[in-house]
Structure 1
Amino acid sequence: MCVREDFLQFVPVYNLTGKNLANVLTESLEGYGINLQYLRGQGYDGAAAMSGRFKGVQSHISKEYPNAPYVHCAAHSLNLAVSGSCNERPIKNCMGTIESVYSFLNTAKRQAVLKESVETMKAGSPKPRVEKLKQLCHTRWIARHDSVLTFLELLLPVVDSLESISEWEDRVSATNASQLLCAIRHSEFIVSLHVIAEVFSKSLPLCRDLQKEATDLAAAMSSAQILVQALVEMRSKADIDFNDIFLRATKTCDAIGVTINLPRLAGRQAQRCNVQTNSPEEFFRIAVFLPFVDHFLSELNSRFLSHKTLLTSFMCLLPSEESLKVSARPSREQLTQLETLVDKYSFDVGTHHLGAKGELEIWYRVVSQLENKPKNALEALIRCDPIDLPSIHTLLKLLATLPVSTSSSERSFSTMKRIKTYLRNTMGQDRLNGLALLNIHREISINTDEILSRLAEEAPRRINLRI
């Protein structure tokens, strides 16, 4: 079994109110012959027109189809958590410097200087795996992680390139290169860069997992919880973990000829952290590392709170190994959660509470005898017999099809940019949707003879297709 996310069409919208967007959405789906009585989930980003509680799209659709709960795109939630945590002053300044360096070097002439620096670095150590910086994109989720990690890997060639450009006769380029070079050689920037790279290296697997079509809400929340646990452990062992980060930052500073020093302390604590210490490591641990990790943890817990609330009732369908070791029967709380699901999805389940509870007890015994316990809804759905346990099978199917992210929908806009270029800007809506379907659904084989026969029968053309 697999979850499919298929592109249908691009729809022109002229009124961006929540009610009109909901009407366009339902009318488009009905135009494709889709029975909306089987609508069991809505997935959008957090824009007010889409997620508003009173006038948003999800509110209007939920009133008409109450069994279709709204799920905020988990990938957007992670992106917002990353954006919110990067508002700490040292982290924000570091990200801004990374973006400025990319914009400055993103020309053919300056990029050639960077490439030459990378080639000269290959004779020494370490050998960079990439030769070009990546843009610090604010909309593509995984690009922000990759841009920071790539910048850290190319830090030495970037410094060498900026030193070369700062000696050019071009006054503007030389001045900007010197300013960026001073910003990069700052102790706070080097430490902040290593802190961001360390935290982003732990959140990158979750970012990749949330963009898969096969992931379900239970697996996504499990991955998010693993990230939270990793950050909590990092926070509890801040002295040890930051010591490793500080040692790497010190080596980087030695390579570019910089010494990590304490910044100047302000007379009063107004705009920045004043830590009374003589140790640079302790200062940056308190001023940079701990606030960033704490803010990231807070953002993750708050952004994914609605997902955890929605998933609470469904967790009774996926018993953990710890609970099965205690007892192979569901607890009273799990039975209560099942009753909530049966009441909410009575149209789909079609059975009484007692029948569903009996199936849940049998399901727990089946799972306890399995050597490899199911970890997500799809694995559980494969092992659940739809004939013997129809209610549990239906609820697992609902859990597997709840929307997790809108990554596939976001990628469709990339397809539209490849199809509707400036040279094809006058194409009609039907042609745009047809070309998009051809480009996205490439796995479908097409019979060219059948297409030509159909085109020949539709309308008279200047080209004779009947030959």
Structure 2
Amino acid sequence: MVPSVRNNFGIISALYNLIESSTKRHVIFEEIQEEAGLKALTIKQLSDTRWTCRWNCLKVVLTRYPQIISTLQVMEAPESHLLIHSMERFDFVFHLFIMSEIYLITNILSKYLQSSHICISQALNQVKMTVNALESLRNETEFERFYSTALQISEENEIDPPKELRKKKVPVRFGGGDKTLNALNIEDHYRINTYYAVLDTIITSIKTRFDENIIIDVLLMEKLFLTKTLLNENELKQLSKQYSLNYDDLRGEQRLYKAKLSTSTYQSQATLSEIRLFILENHLNACLPVMDELFKILWTIPVNTCTCERSFSTLRRIKTYLRSTTGEYRLSGLALLNIEREVEIDYGEIVKEFISAKNTRKIVF
């Protein structure tokens, strides 16, 4: 991350710790917002991994900037004066605005990747769209828009515009003397050293994280199972070599599978859940053992870990202070009901099974 932007996030983190760590200070912030006729918002905590949390935090700081400054002025804490000094600078406003706009784009990708029904190829398409959107911002026209907006926000909040950088003289021992280095003007400085640097860092990071060369085998398996397109000879050899499968068997089973898939009602690409049902309903797991092995591998490679994380969050919500004595069996059942709440349950069958479990229940019910 660019040092100046990293410093900005440090200021925002300190702001969160100061205001939201105290109920009294939080109430002051809410009252100032309500006096201005605005809906009371809460400053969100920054997260190292969740882009959505960062976007929500930046949005609140940007939209409630005057109210935050007023809150800090009312507070008697010594840290508030330091934060006011750090926030009432063009640097802070400019970095805050560009990062909020960038996270606005990446937040869409973040939400999409949390879906439990996407596959790797669909995720990569969304990643490419996000990268293209970020790359479209990397030009002078977009920079001028960002820079002028930051100047306007600074002017509205009585913040001094950025000053020209001090020109440095070349030392005499290096042939200088009266000569000065070719220093950038202030606008070029923000464009090259901040705006372009931030965009390049984020774009490179996304491309590295979602490198197709790393997950090429997963993409080939998705092409094999989810589409009606046949894999070529090299692609089949790569899969058979990677997972120690018989190449001839895989090539033959692919033909049978694609022939069966072509008779289905699926469009250009099905989902993993649909293909799982398709394989089980047509008993292809028994007919095509090599393909079945590959599908098991594909099925056990998650696109993300959001479902697992939601399961952990479920336990935290269920086992509260009032349920501290809940046993493992009951807790497991409650968690399963909550996690799999989308599954339709036939309550009539449950009642019948409950009654038939014991003879005494048959008499009562």
Q: Does 1:192 align with 2:95?
A: yes
- Of 308, 318, 329, 2:215 maps to 308
Closer, same or farther: CA 134–222 of 1 in aligned 2, 3 Å: same
What's the counterpart of residue 209 of structure 1? 112
Tell me how many residue pairs correspond in the alignment. 340
Task: Say whether residues 1:240 and 2:146 are aligned partners.
Answer: no
Deviation, structure 1 residue 257: 0.7
Taking the aligned partners of 1:196 and 1:404, their CA distance within structure 2 comes to 27
State the AA in 1 paired with 2:154: C
Map of 2:41 onto structure 1: 131
| Structure-2 separation of matches of 1:250 and 1:265 | 20
The reply on whether 1:157 has 2:67 as its aligned counterpart is yes
Matches within 5 A, 1:197-346: 197-235=100-138, 237=139, 239-262=140-163, 265=166, 276-278=183-185, 280-305=186-211, 307-314=214-221, 316-317=223-224, 334-341=232-239
Structure 2 CA distance for aligned equivalents of residues 448 and 329 of structure 1: 47
Kept in 2, the 8 Å contact 1:329–1:365? The answer is no
TM-score under structure 2 length normalisation? 0.74
Among 274, 286, 308, the residue aligned to 1:409: 308
TM-superposed CA distance for 1:454, in Å, is: 7.0
Larger deviation, residues 334-343 vs 184-193: 334-343
> How much has 1:90 moved relative to structure 2?
1.0
* Structure-1 residue corresponding to 2:178: none
- In terms of fraction of residues, the more helix-rich structure is 2
Q: Indicate conservation of the 8 Å contact 1:380/1:396, yes or no.
A: no
Amino acid at match of 2:221: F
Which amino acid in structure 2 is aligned with residue 219 of structure 1? Q
Comparing both chains, which one has the higher relative contact order based on Cα–Cα distances under 8 Å and sequence gaps of 6 or more? 1
Q: Does 1:356 align with 2:254?
A: yes
Q: Structure 2: how far apart are the matches of 1:311 and 1:408?
A: 19
Whole-angstrom CA distance in 2 between matches of 1:242 and 1:315: 40
User: What runs of 5+ residues in structure 1 fail to find an aligned partner?
Assistant: 1-86, 123-127, 269-273, 321-327, 458-465
Q: Distance in 1 between matches of 2:134 and 2:102?
A: 8
Q: Does 1:119 align with 2:34?
A: yes
Distance change (3 Å), C-alpha of 1:347 and 1:425 = farther
Q: Check whether the contact 1:97–1:183 (CA below 8 A) recurs between aligned residues.
A: yes
SS in 2 for 1:281: helix
1:226 alignment partner AA = M
1:310 is displaced (CA, Å) by: 3.4
SS in 2 for 1:207: helix
SS in 1 for 2:215: helix
Does the residue aligned with 2:137 lie in a helix, a strand or coil?
helix
- Partner residue in 2 for 1:110: 25
CA distance in 1, matches of 2:188, 2:32: 34
Which position in structure 1 is the counterpart of 2:85? 182
Alpha-carbon distance, 1:191 to partner: 0.8
- Structure 1 residues 377 and 433: CA distance shift in structure 2, 3 A: closer
Deviations 1:293-342 (A, max 9, x none): 1111222222223653333433654999xxxxxxx986xx8432134335
Deviations 1:406-454 (A, max 9, x none): 1111122222222334555555433432332244344546658976997
* Contact kept in structure 1, 2:13 and 2:45, CA below 8 Å: yes
Q: Structure 1 residue 284: deviation in Å? A: 1.1
The whole-number CA distance in structure 2 between the counterparts of 1:146 and 1:298 is 23
